[in-house]
Amino acid sequence: MTKQSPRSQEPRVSRPARGAKLRVRFTFPQRLVTEPVIWYLSKHFDVITNIRRAEVKESTGWVVLELEGKEEEVQRGLQWVREQGVRVDLVTGDIVEG
């Protein structure tokens, strides 16, 4: 009998159909630092959010994460995030150079 690894015994996470993957950085203003913006994004848009790095302080916070889902849905979700007042940037920083 093959010994199953602990990882294979864990419940599989149900994911939406694979689509666009986008790596972004959210920068939060002070008034949104304690708001569950990413939870709301996942709950109300068909987008998987996968956090890789974050720092949260009293006056500001940032999160580096990957978003996965159909491209239009990812963009809709990001539009909503921006409308809340969160700055959205590519993880690479600005690409257009002088």
Partner 1 sequence: MPYVKALRCRECGREYPQEPINVCDFCFGPLEVVYDYEAISRVISRERIARGPLSIWRYADLLPADSERAVDINAGFTPLIKAKNLGRRLGLDNLYLKNDCVNPSYSFKDRVVSIAATKALEFGFDTVACASTGNLACSVAAHAARAGMKAVVFIPADLEKGKVVGAAIYGPTLVAVNGNYDDVNRLCSEIADSYHWAFVNINVRPYYSEGSKTLGYEVAEQLGWRAPDHAIVPAASGSLFTKIWKGLKEMSDLKLIGPVKTRMHLTQPTGCSPISTAYLEGTLNIRPVKPKTIAKSLAIGNPADGYYALKTIQQSRGTAWSVTDEEIVEGIKLLASTEGIFTETAGGVVVAGLEKLAKSGAIQKDEVTVAYITGNGLKTQEAVENVVQPLLIEPSLAAFEKAIKER
Place of tokens 């709950």: 43
Give least dist CB 96 to partner 1, A: 4
Note whether 34 binds partner 1 by CB under 8 A. no
DSSP 3-state of 72: helix
Place of tokens 């109300």: 44
Beta bridge partners of 16: none
Give least dist CB 55 to partner 1, A: 7
Note whether 66 binds partner 1 by CB under 8 A. yes
Beta bridge partners of 22: 67
Site residues for partner 1, 4-23, by CB under 8 A, read 23
Distance in angstroms (rounded) separating the CA atoms of residues 52 and 58: 20
Give least dist CB 27 to partner 1, A: 6
Q: Which residues bind partner 1 (CB under 8 A)?
A: 23, 25, 27, 52-53, 55, 57, 60, 62, 64, 66, 87, 89-98
